[in-house]
Amino acid sequence: MKDTPTLKPATRILNAAVIVASLGYFVDIYDLLLFSIVRVPSLQSMGLQGDELRDQGILLLNMQMTGLLLGGIFWGILGDKKGRLSVLFGSIFMYSVANIANGFVQSIESYAIWRFIAGIGLAGELGAGITLVAEILPKEKRGYGTTIVAAVGISGAVVAWFIAEMFDWRTSYFIGGGLGLSLLLLRVGVAESGMFGQARETNTRRGDFFALFTSKDRLIKYLRCILIGIPLWYVVGILITLSPEFGKALGIKGVVNAGTAVACCYAGIVVGDIVSGTLSQYLRSRLKVVYIYLFFSMATISAYFLTREVSLQVFYTVCFILGLSVGYWVIFMTIATEQFGTNIRATVTTTVPNFVRGAVVPLTFLFKWFLDLFGNSVITAGVLVAIFSLLCAFVALQGMQETFSKDLNYTEDI
């Protein structure tokens, strides 16, 4: 690990980089969750029904998440080699175009292709934005900056629900694409990270993704960063995305609308992120907050499966509380950013959340395997995948380094 000269950090928390990163993540989440919201009506418009809605929906979700996995590696390396801003705006352009194209699809095949391309585009913005914000703010305040990015960004899911309620699914995609393209007008005035500039000027080796695997300590640290986020995307990718199926199995009085469940869950995540980010600053600890939220999520996931034969309003309230309990995304992202040096920080911060998002792919395969094993019981399958996800997070959190107020102006020896 090599220290680099001290840089003068930004004086204001709400600066141009924080604003653009927040709005970029807002559109990112809008697009990412819009599919979960319009999954049923969009597939029904193509003639699908019954179990096809679930099976083809999982296929499209997996295509999107596979794109996120591959895109995370691509954009992460680019962010350390070419700069945070090139990824921030390049990814926004790509997912905006893909969003618009999604509004024109007429078949499952074309839908799958454009969800894959959208996934690649969506993989870059958050990591680049969080890295940029963390590097330009003073260490005592960067938790507030990343909290703003997460809170504003995640509210995009709620807006996506309102838009989907007001317009048909194709128009909803068009609106998302238009919002993203309009963000590119804000690129003037956003400065590149000074830490990245120093690393580039000194010809430090940057953006080596494979360097994460050449050191046992780095690899373990990297895997820990990924695994602590698994429960969050289990909740979103399984319990909320498939809430209509779970609602039927739980005997909910009425037809559960996936879009409404997503909006309620993400409203909870917004509140949870604000609370977790603020609590982290108060406790001066990232890890204590993650422990608190993991125990909270254990209780709310249990409540989700025990909620039988209740009204839709009660079920949606449970979805909100479920989102609240996994609202540690901002802390999860900040931990990943603070664990590694400037020369691979963007690579880590971009790949980690996308590997967590992409974990939905093996989680859904595991879910379907349990479905086959236990006679198509979505409850049993859901509970078993929940246990697996929470165990991963608790094991990973053991022995993890506390990074609150850590100086980030250093590089890794790779």
pLDDT at 241 over 90: no
Q: Identify the pLDDT of residue 1.
A: 54
Cα end-to-end span (Å), the chain = 9
Q: Over range 359-379, report the average pLDDT.
A: 90
Q: What is the CATH number of the domain that holds 173?
A: 1.20.1250.20
Closest by Cα among 313, 288, 283, 317 to 300: 317
Whole-angstrom Cα distance, residue 255 to residue 296? 27
- The reported pLDDT for the residue numbered 15 is 80
Token pair, residue 280, equals 């982290």
pLDDT attached to residue 96: 93
What is the number of domains present in the chain? 1
Question: Which backbone phi and psi does 109 adopt, to 5 degrees?
Answer: -60, -50
Contact by Cβ (8 Å): 112, 76: no
Which is more confidently placed, 66 or 4?
A: 66
Is 25 contained in some domain? yes
Pairwise pLDDT comparison (54 vs 9), residue with the higher score:
54
If one compares 214 and 204, the residue with the highest pLDDT of the two is 214
Phi and psi based region of residue 29 (left: phi greater than 0; alpha: psi -120 to 50; beta: remaining): alpha
Angle at CA of residue 364, ends 69 and 373, nearest 5° = 150
The DSSP letter of residue 253 is: B
| Predicted confidence band of residue 189 (pLDDT cuts 50, 70, 90) | low
Per-residue pLDDT, 45: 92
Residue 4 above 60 pLDDT? no
- Which contacts qualify for 94-98: CB closer than 8 Å, 24 or more apart? 94/120, 94/121, 94/124, 95/27, 95/28, 95/31, 95/121, 95/122, 95/125, 95/180, 96/27, 96/121, 96/176, 96/177, 96/178, 96/179, 96/180, 96/181, 96/183, 97/121, 97/177, 97/181, 98/31, 98/177
Closest CA to 393 of 329, 345, 349: 329
Q: Is the pLDDT of residue 381 over 90?
A: yes
Predicted confidence at residue 6, as pLDDT, reads 47
Does the pLDDT value for residue 254 go beyond 50?
A: yes
Taking a C-beta distance cutoff of 8 angstroms, is the pair 153, 126 a contact?
A: yes
Short-list 340, 321, 68, 24, CA closest to 209: 340
Please check whether residue 72 lies inside any domain of the structure: yes
Confidence of residue 200 (pLDDT cuts 50, 70, 90): confident
Closest CA to 22 of 149, 110, 200: 149
Q: Over pLDDT 70: what percentage of the chain?
A: 97
Report the percent of the chain where pLDDT is more than 90.
54
In a domain, 69, yes or no: yes
Inside any domain, residue 83: yes
Does the residue 118 lie in any domain? Answer: yes
> DSSP letters along 137-168, please?
S-TTTHHHHHHHHHHHHHHHHHHHHHHHHHS-
Can you give the pLDDT at residue 199? Answer: 78
**Among 403, 274, 388, 368, which residue's Cα sits nearest to residue 327?**
274
pLDDT at res. 66: 87
What pLDDT is stored for residue 188 in this prediction?
59
Q: What is the pLDDT of residues 294-344, one digit of tens each?
A: 999 999 999 999 999 999 999 999 999 999 999 999 899 999 999 999 899
pLDDT at residue 8, as a whole number: 52
> Which tens digit of pLDDT belongs to each residue from 65-84?
889 889 999 999 999 998 88
- Contact criterion met (CB below 8 Å) for 230 and 393: yes
Q: Supply the DSSP symbol for 311.
A: B
pLDDT, average across residues 103-110: 93
The pLDDT score that the predictor gives to residue 101 is 96
Say whether pLDDT at 3 is over 70: no
Residue 7 has pLDDT above 60, yes or no: no
| Better-predicted residue by pLDDT, 193 or 404 | 404
| Domain presence at residue 276 | yes
Rounded-to-integer distance, Cα 164 and Cα 266, Å: 15
pLDDT of 187 reads: 66
Which pLDDT score, from 0 to 100, does residue 5 have?
A: 47
Average pLDDT, whole number, for the chain?
A: 89
> Is the pLDDT confidence value at 352 over 90?
yes
Q: Find how far residue 100's CA is from the centre of its chain.
A: 21
pLDDT in tens, 263-280: 899 889 989 999 999 999
Q: What is the residue range of 327's domain?
A: 11-186+211-411
Q: Cα(89)–Cα(363) distance, rounded to whole angstroms?
A: 31
- Tell me the pLDDT band of 411, cut-offs 50, 70 and 90: confident
CB atoms within 10 A of CB 303: 13
Question: Distance (Å, rounded) from C-alpha 284 to C-alpha 280?
Answer: 5
Give the pLDDT of residue 399. Answer: 84
Which of the four pLDDT bands, split at 50, 70 and 90, describes residue 91?
A: very high
Quick check: is 193 in a domain?
Answer: no
pLDDT of residue 110: 95
| Residue 406 clears pLDDT 60, i.e. is over it | yes
| Dihedral sign from CA coordinates of 74, 80, 83, 89 | positive
35 in a structural domain: yes
Residue-by-residue DSSP string for 316-346 = HHHHHHHHHHT--HHHHHHHHHHHS-HHHHH
